[in-house]
Structure formats: C-alpha cells, structure tokens
C-alpha cells in the first residue's frame, strides 16, 4: 500500500494530464494487481478520465462545462466562484483505476486529468495504490 501526494500549479482553468504520475506511483508501490485511487482535496477542482488524443476534446469539455454551469446573478456565495464549485461536483473529486500486471487499465484514448476551474492556484492530488 502506498499513498503519495503531488503538487500542481494550474492556470485559470484547464485539464492537466496526470496519467504518468499515477502510473509511476503504481510502479513505485510494487503492487502489480490492485486499485489506484486518484483524489483531489479541493472544492473547485476535479479528477476525471477522458480522451487524450484530440486536444479539441478538452477544449470542448471546458466550453461545455462553462455553458452548463455559467455564473449567475442569483448565486449567493460571496467568493463568487459558485460555477466552479458546480463543475467540481459534476465531475467529481476522484477516480478509481484498475491495476493489472503493473499497468493502469486504461483505454487507448483515455488519460487521467486534474481539472482546474478556479485558478491559478497551487493544487494537490493524492494517489493511493492498494493490492
């Protein structure tokens, strides 16, 4: 079992591919078959799995999330980032990936992303591997 923390410097918003960090944590753990949990302890960021091949997919997801969760005059939260809180909960704070024979079981076009909705900030995420 291993728990590792990573820090990440983000821009205003964006998807950051963290697949390599997760794979290297799996390698470091020595566990070949088990589960990797990737978790971010933030309320305006998220973790998700999606396409890595065409960068337009990330562009379109960010656009779609902005359209689905726009800033609204009726929001009360004084910090002014309620739409980022909504996007964070919509995508979720963690993903679980199966580890098999020392490799993450991901589809050809899948990568693991840290999603920033209210940057720029210094963020962190955790990778927990258990066999």
Residue numbers at the binding site for Zn ion (CB under 5 A): 79, 81
> To the nearest whole angstrom, how small is the minimum distance from the Cβ of residue 58 to Zn ion?
23
Query: Between residues 29 and 88, which has the closer beta carbon with respect to Zn ion?
Result: 88
Closest CA to 23 of 111, 114, 116: 111
Cα 82 to Cα 44, 70, 76: the distances in Å are: 9, 9, 8
Q: In the bound complex, which residue of the shown chain has the CB atom lying closest to Zn ion?
A: 79
Query: Between residues 50 and 81, which has the closer beta carbon with respect to Zn ion?
Result: 81
Query: Between residues 23 and 44, which has the closer beta carbon with respect to Zn ion?
Result: 44
Closest CA to 105 of 53, 15, 3, 36: 36
> To the nearest whole angstrom, how small is the minimum distance from the Cβ of residue 89 to Zn ion?
12
Pairing, β 45-51 against β 110-116: antiparallel
> To the nearest whole angstrom, how small is the minimum distance from the Cβ of residue 71 to Zn ion?
12
């Amino acid at each position: 079992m291993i728990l590792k923390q990573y820090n990440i410097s983000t821009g205003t918003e964006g998807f950051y591919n963290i697949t390599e960090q997760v794979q290297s944590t799996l390698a470091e753990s020595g566990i070949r078959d088990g589960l990797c949990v990737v978790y971010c302890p933030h309320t305006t960021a998220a973790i998700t799995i999606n396409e890595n091949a065409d960068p337009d997919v990330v562009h379109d997801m960010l656009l779609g999330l902005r359209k689905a969760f726009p800033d609204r005059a009726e929001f009360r939260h004084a910090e002014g980032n309620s739409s980022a809180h909504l996007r964070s909960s919509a995508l979720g704070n963690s993903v679980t990936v199966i580890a098999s024979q020392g490799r993450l079981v991901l589809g050809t076009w899948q990568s693991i992303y840290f999603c920033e909705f209210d940057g720029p900030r210094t963020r962190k995420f955790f990778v927990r591997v258990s066999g």
